Amino acid sequence: MANLSAQLDAYLLDLSWSLWTELGVAGVKRQHQDFLIDPEELILLTSAIMESDPRLRDEALDWCVHNHHYISVSRLRVLAKALESYIAVPFSLFSTTVNAVAGAHWPTFTSVSPLTFVPSNKSMLPKLDMPALLYFRLRTLFGVSARADVLAFFLSEEKTDFAAADVAEIGYSKRSIFDILEGFSEISLLHRRTFRNQQRYSFEKRAQMEKIVGPIPKYFLSWRHLLEVLLSLRGCIKATENKSLTTKVVEMRNLLLQLENKLRVLRYTPPAMQADIQVYWESLSRWLLDKTQAVACPGI
């Protein structure tokens, strides 16, 4: 498939623009009014692809300069570390620029000079009662903290029974998560039970909490797994762009095996290997583009 990398980036840019527009950036694409927006993951995605769209970069920077106090620095550090091999330099550029202009203390992976950037002052955070802004409402109520994000996790999950390790996927240490879960169980916000020598927690007061925090989004994506999959595959595609088809297929197959657990969480099933590697590569490329388009333009 011709120019797979460019097509993939076009969908990722559509996704980024739509999510940032929901947060008040001066954009026109709005496809995610009913989706929970994860601000730290959005920053990571944007830094990865910002070289393809300087206007997106500058408008996202403008928003971050004015609203960096809503961002969890500790969570940003943990989530960025998981993607370091794909975003180290661009993320450091983005963070260093926010730090220089806003006096923030975002993490970086390498020493770089800040981008030449003058805030446009166009970004305006919308009213926080929008369903997509659940993270922001919870952080306003409970502080920019793991506690607020644990509540976002429980409100956004269909399942009702979790161990501390499950919740730690949101980007905090298991120890911190365990302490929070224990505290929530002490006030009967969560129910704790022991199952096979493991503490399990279920959300006992969802209805009451929903009344407090306001409208809940209709749709929840596992942004961490999604970005780890998409940015990993994107990195593989870019690294093998000028290599033989056989090398591309071998590298991609090895990566898909490494991503097997994350793909399972997302319920993504890549196409089966075929004897004709050209047919297989085209099938795999179409599968990846279809999945990315479905996230970027839901309902289309």
List the chain domain ranges.
4-102, 132-213, 223-296
Span 138-177, pLDDT tens digits: 999 999 999 999 999 999 987 788 999 999 999 999 999 9
Span 208-250, pLDDT tens digits: 999 999 899 999 999 999 999 999 999 999 999 999 999 999 9
Beta bridge partners of 201: 162, 192
Contacts 24+ apart (CB under 8 A), 181-184: 181/150, 184/150
Distance, CA of 6 to CA of 52 (rounded, Å)? 9
CB contact at 8 A, 234 and 215: no
pLDDT at position 116: 92
Judged by DSSP in three states, 184 sits in helix
204 pLDDT tier (thresholds 50, 70, 90) = confident
Average pLDDT score over residue span 80-103 = 96
Contacts 24+ apart (CB under 8 A), 280-286: 280/249, 281/1, 281/245, 281/248, 281/249, 282/1, 284/249, 284/252, 285/1, 285/4, 286/1
- Residue 57 burial by CB count (10 A; 0-12/13-18/19+): exposed, middle or buried? buried
| Tokens read off for 58 | 């500058």
| Tokens read off for 190 | 């969560």
CB contact at 8 A, 143 and 70: no
**Nearest alpha carbon to residue 177 among 213, 201, 155:** 201
| Tokens read off for 100 | 């220089």
Distance, CA of 162 to CA of 199 (rounded, Å)? 8
Q: Per CATH, which fold does 132-213 belong to?
A: Arc Repressor Mutant, subunit A (1.10.10)
**Nearest alpha carbon to residue 93 among 38, 49, 40:** 49
Whole-model pTM: value is 0.94
The share of the chain scoring above pLDDT 90, in percent, equals: 87
Lowest mean pLDDT among 116-125, 172-181, 285-294: 116-125
Distance, CA of 49 to CA of 87 (rounded, Å)? 9
- Residue 224 burial by CB count (10 A; 0-12/13-18/19+): exposed, middle or buried? buried
- Residue 121 burial by CB count (10 A; 0-12/13-18/19+): exposed, middle or buried? exposed
- Residue tagged 């509540």 (tokens): 151
pLDDT at position 300: 59
